[in-house]
Structure 1
Amino acid sequence: MEALMRVTDTLKSFREARLSGLRPPQEFFDVTRVSRPADMNQATSRISYNTRYFSGNYLLIVALLAVYAVLTNWLLLISLVFLVGGFAAINRFAPDATQFGEHTITQKHLYTGLFVIGIPMFWIAGPFGTFFWLIGASGVLILGHASLLEPGVESDYANIQDQV
Structure 2
Amino acid sequence: MEYAARIPGVLQSLKETRLSGLRPVTEFFDYNRISRPADSNTAFSRISYNTRYFSGNYALIIAMLAVYALLTNLFLVFALFFLVGGFALINKFGADPLQFGEHTITQKHLYTGLFVIGIPLVYIGAPISTFFWLVGASGFLILGHAAMVEPGVESEYASVEEGTV
Could you say which residue in structure 2 is the equivalent of 1:123? Answer: 123
Quote how far apart the aligned CAs of 1:98 are: 3.0
Query: Quick check: 82-91 or 123-132, which moved more?
Result: 82-91
Amino acid across the alignment from 1:54: F
Percent of residue pairs identical: 67
Quote how far apart the aligned CAs of 1:8 are: 4.1
CA RMSD of aligned residues (A): 1.6
Could you say which residue in structure 2 is the equivalent of 1:25? Answer: 25
Q: Deviations over 1:37-64 (max 9, x none)?
A: 1111110000000000111111111111
Alignment map for 1:68-79 (pairs within 5 Å):
68-79=68-79
Counterpart-to-counterpart distance in 1, 2:11 and 2:110 = 30
Counterpart-to-counterpart distance in 1, 2:13 and 2:37 = 37
Alignment map for 1:72-151 (pairs within 5 Å):
72-151=72-151
- Structure 2: segments with no counterpart, 5+ residues: none
Q: TM-score of the superposition, structure 1-length normalised?
A: 0.92
What SS does the aligned partner of 1:95 have?
A: coil
Counterpart-to-counterpart distance in 1, 2:10 and 2:26 = 29
Amino acid across the alignment from 1:112: T
Change (3 A) 1:16 1:139: same
Q: TM-score of the superposition, structure 2-length normalised?
A: 0.91
Counterpart-to-counterpart distance in 2, 1:8 and 1:114 = 32
Q: Deviations over 1:125-162 (max 9, x none)?
A: 11111111111101100000000001111111111110
- Structure 1: segments with no counterpart, 5+ residues: none
Amino acid across the alignment from 1:11: L
Aligned length: 164
